[in-house]
Amino acid sequence: VAFLSEVFFAWQNFLHEKEEQKNLWSNMEGEQLHLNKETDATHLNRHMSVHTGRKPFACELCEKRFSLKSTLNRHMRVHTGQKPFPCDLCGRRFSLKSTLNSHMIVHTGQKPFPCDLCGKRFSLKSTLNRHMRVHTRQKPFACELCGKRFSVKSTLNSHMRVHTGQKPFACELCGKRFSQKSTLNCHMRVHTGQKPFACELCEKRFGLKAHLNSHMSVHTGQKPIACELCEKRFSLKSTLNRHMSIHTGQKPFVCELCEKRFIQKSNLNRHMRVHTGQKPFPCDLCGRRFSVKSTLNSHMRVHTRQKPFACELCGKRFSGKSTLNSHLRVHTGQKPFSCDLCGKRFSQKSTLNSHRSVHTGRKPFACELCEKRFGLKAHLNRHMSPNVNFNKSHESTQDRSLWEKKLAIRKL
């Protein structure tokens, strides 16, 4: 009997505990169901902000607004500089886990997103989306100041520096500042001497791809850009812009020493050598130095005896283009240079300068034998010529001997 009583009480206790566990699980399930309903309601409320446009969470630093608290928290890393997600392979850090995930493709080399139109592949879907604008020609990002449109937001941001004047990228070697990082990178080649872009036709090298593209017109002969005023054609837009100053008369570059004005900065730089006396271009054959490279090139024809410029009217050849242009006035009869004192006109500027000695009385050319002076070099040469009755000018045998020696030295 005692044993049966113990069994009965044990069974009663077991049933009681079972009932309590059942009640406990029922309560927990009810609470979880309540929590799930609350969570679903919260997610729904957050989702509805997509439709309503509500952005209740504001950044206290820049006042930018967000629809989700979690998005605000991520945004705060822009101000704090926090980058809590490091790459295990290269150590680079990121503020967003999604950006880290995208970065990992750099190490794997995967490019899972192909362009359906041209077959080019991309590692990121966003990069593919930007690329598609090349085909669609979409430019959704507009400048609020000038209305110019761009296909990429980052290009618009760079463009804005044109209006603000910001130049945040500085050269560490010379301190020159630039508005674009890419422009700084190109500038660095000035210091390093790198010329990575080579012409496939003549192997000439360039520091900028744009300079190579411009150079190619030398080989193709293309001049696609025309002046609307005179129809002269150019291979480069920059050359057309410089040319336009001929029509406008603008000379924006002024010499600080003599106030002479120039159309181009390069012309001003060359002109400054008049004041400094610099002659950086030496002739390798005779050592004579020149301030302008083109003058050296013309001078070299003295040694090579080249005369590449021919007159189409008489066939006479010249070593310099300017000399040919002067010669053409013989045929046209043009006399563009006039004397301010007597109005007499001349075809050559040098002839006008010589003519001025008639008015000034200057005779800068002296005979070394008899000290007779002349206003023109040609008159001195005629005086020295053996074809002239020599005895009338230089009567002594000693004078004649001295003259012949000097004439022989000149011929050497």
- pLDDT tier at 402, thresholds 50, 70, 90: low
When comparing pLDDT for 346 and 28, which is higher?
A: 346
User: Does the pLDDT value for residue 5 go beyond 80?
Assistant: no
pLDDT of amino acid 332 = 93
Q: How many CB atoms lie within 10 A of CB 398?
A: 10
pLDDT of amino acid 34 = 53
Task: Compute the distance between CA of residue 280 and CA of residue 295 in angstroms, rounded to an integer.
Answer: 12
Q: What would the two tokens of residue 81 be?
A: 């500089």
When comparing pLDDT for 235 and 276, which is higher?
A: 276
User: Does the pLDDT value for residue 11 go beyond 70?
Assistant: no
Highest CATH level, class, for 82-138: alpha beta
List the one residue out of 354, 358, 351, 324 whose CA is nearest residue 336. 351
Q: What percent of the chain stands above pLDDT 70?
A: 82
User: Does the pLDDT value for residue 241 go beyond 50?
Assistant: yes
Q: Average pLDDT of the chain? A: 83
pLDDT of amino acid 35 = 47
Mean pLDDT of 385-394: 52
Task: Compute the distance between CA of residue 156 and CA of residue 166 in angstroms, rounded to an integer.
Answer: 14
pLDDT of amino acid 140 = 92
pLDDT tens digit string along 145-192? 999 999 988 889 989 998 999 999 999 999 999 998 888 998 998 899
Mean pLDDT of 126-155: 91
Mean pLDDT of 355-362: 86
User: Does the pLDDT value for residue 339 go beyond 70?
Assistant: yes
When comparing pLDDT for 401 and 412, which is higher?
A: 401
Q: Who contacts 378 (Cβ-Cβ below 8 Å, separation ≥6)?
A: none
pLDDT tens digit string along 245-263? 888 888 888 999 998 999 8
- pLDDT tier at 276, thresholds 50, 70, 90: very high
User: Does the pLDDT value for residue 122 go beyond 60?
Assistant: yes
User: Does the pLDDT value for residue 74 go beyond 60?
Assistant: yes
What are the C-alpha distances in Å from 62 to residues 53, 66, 78, 349? 19, 12, 10, 69
- Highest-confidence range of 45-54, 226-235, 379-388, by mean pLDDT? 226-235
**Total length of the chain:** 412
pLDDT tens digit string along 193-216? 899 999 998 888 998 888 888 888
Report the DSSP beta bridge partners of residue 310: 317
User: Does the pLDDT value for residue 400 go beyond 90?
Assistant: no
Mean pLDDT of 341-360: 87
User: Does the pLDDT value for residue 391 go beyond 50?
Assistant: no
When comparing pLDDT for 2 and 334, which is higher?
A: 334
Domains of the chain, by residue range, sit at 82-138
pLDDT of amino acid 390 = 47
pLDDT of amino acid 392 = 47
User: Does the pLDDT value for residue 412 go beyond 60?
Assistant: no
* Lowest pLDDT segment from 34-38, 101-105, 201-205, 290-294: 34-38
Q: What would the two tokens of residue 345 be?
A: 């006109």
User: Does the pLDDT value for residue 398 go beyond 60?
Assistant: no
- Record the pTM: 0.38
